[in-house]
Amino acid sequence: MFDYIKNFINSNQLWIGAILGWIISRMMEMLQKPKIEFVIIKDHEFTRNSRKFKFINLTIRNSKQNFLSKFFFGNQNLNNSRVWLTFKDYNSRKEILKANGRWASTREPIDYSSGQPLIPEILIPSRETIPQGEEANISIAIKENGDDSFFLFNNESYLHNWKNPDFELKDNKYWLKIRLLADGHEYTKEFLLSNPSKSLKNFKVLEK
């Protein structure tokens, strides 16, 4: 039996070496992968031209690693990361709306002297780099007080005075999926978005 195993190993060294190499490579890749948290943050209400709005944002946190991980692999940045937002029907979970996300930490795509949208900046997907131990916010949605519906919010919203008709959502509950892609790694998280009334008070993101 021992001779059989020895002969098998000798005759398949190349394949075994390739498989072990792949396993070690994958393990190293996973250990080097940043540790990401999706965090609900405090609601943000504000007044603009006597109209009251609420923005919903989420925080993406590149969590600090322990001493050993930092010693062997260094500080892992979340590089050039891009986000997608997907809203799904609450009952059927069917996809209703999907769009690029906007990093709220990046510059608004408008000319601050004239207030006009900057088309080239709007057309370029919003990207952000987050060093380890730091965080950045992504825009999710906006609602005006007294409205039944709300709107997904991203760079394209600046073309429509924040209310893009293609991004309008009218139901009182949706599943919200956040998908983040950076350095070839994918991170996802699902939340519940609640919009039960015209009031801004209960317009919010909740843990699933």
- Over the stretch 116-150, which tens digit does the pLDDT of each residue have? 999 989 999 999 999 998 999 999 999 999 999 99
- Over the stretch 60-85, which tens digit does the pLDDT of each residue have? 999 876 544 554 445 588 999 999 99
pLDDT at 24: 43
What whole-number distance in Å separates Cα of residue 5 and Cα of residue 7? Answer: 5
- Over the stretch 180-200, which tens digit does the pLDDT of each residue have? 999 989 999 999 999 999 999
Radius of gyration of the chain, Cα coordinates, nearest whole angstrom: 23
Predicted confidence (pLDDT) at residue 14 exceeds the cutoff of 60 = no
**pLDDT above 90 as % of the chain:** 65
Cβ partners under 8 Å of residue 137, min gap 6:
41, 57, 58, 59, 60, 103, 104, 105
Higher pLDDT, 57 or 1: 57
Q: What mean pLDDT value characterizes the chain?
A: 85
**b/e code 122-150 from CB counts within 10 Å (16+ = b):** beeebebebebeebbbbbbbbbbeebeeb
Structure token digits, residue 57: 């944002």
pLDDT at 26: 46
Looking at residue 137, its amino acid is: N
pLDDT at 4: 52
